[in-house]
Amino acid sequence: TKGKKEAFLWFPRDVAGSRTQVKIGSDMWQNGYRVEAAIPWSLFGVTPYAGEHFGFVYSTSDNDNESNAQQDSMVSSDAGRHLTNPTSWQELVLSN
């Protein structure tokens, strides 16, 4: 819950990097953590509408040592996902 929080776009590689326009909050909750992220639609280059479908996976990476950029653990909303294959992800459908 303390420490730096960062949203990072991995793909496409030619535009990969940190995304400072994403707002992230977290806190201890029950037997774990609660994470909230506000991601502007402009980051994806789409104008959302009800009924639109997206391949979607939420993955949280943890690093307990800020002086060393090393991933300690990762938790994903879809354990069977393949990073570069959105057809293996879950489906997000927008509604009103």
Q: What is the dihedral of CA 43, 44, 50, 52, to 10 degrees?
A: -170
* Its pTM surpasses 0.75: no
Predicted confidence at residue 65, as pLDDT, reads 64
* CA angle in degrees (0–180, nearest 5) for 59-5-69: 80
Task: Say if residues 22 and 37 touch (Cβ distance below 8 Å).
Answer: yes
Predicted confidence at residue 54, as pLDDT, reads 87
Predicted confidence at residue 75, as pLDDT, reads 72
Q: How far apart are CA 39 and CA 20, in angstroms?
A: 10
Question: Across residues 23-45, what is the average pLDDT?
Answer: 88
Predicted confidence at residue 70, as pLDDT, reads 67
Residue 5's closest CA among 31, 29, 23, 28?
23
Question: Across residues 31-42, what is the average pLDDT?
Answer: 88
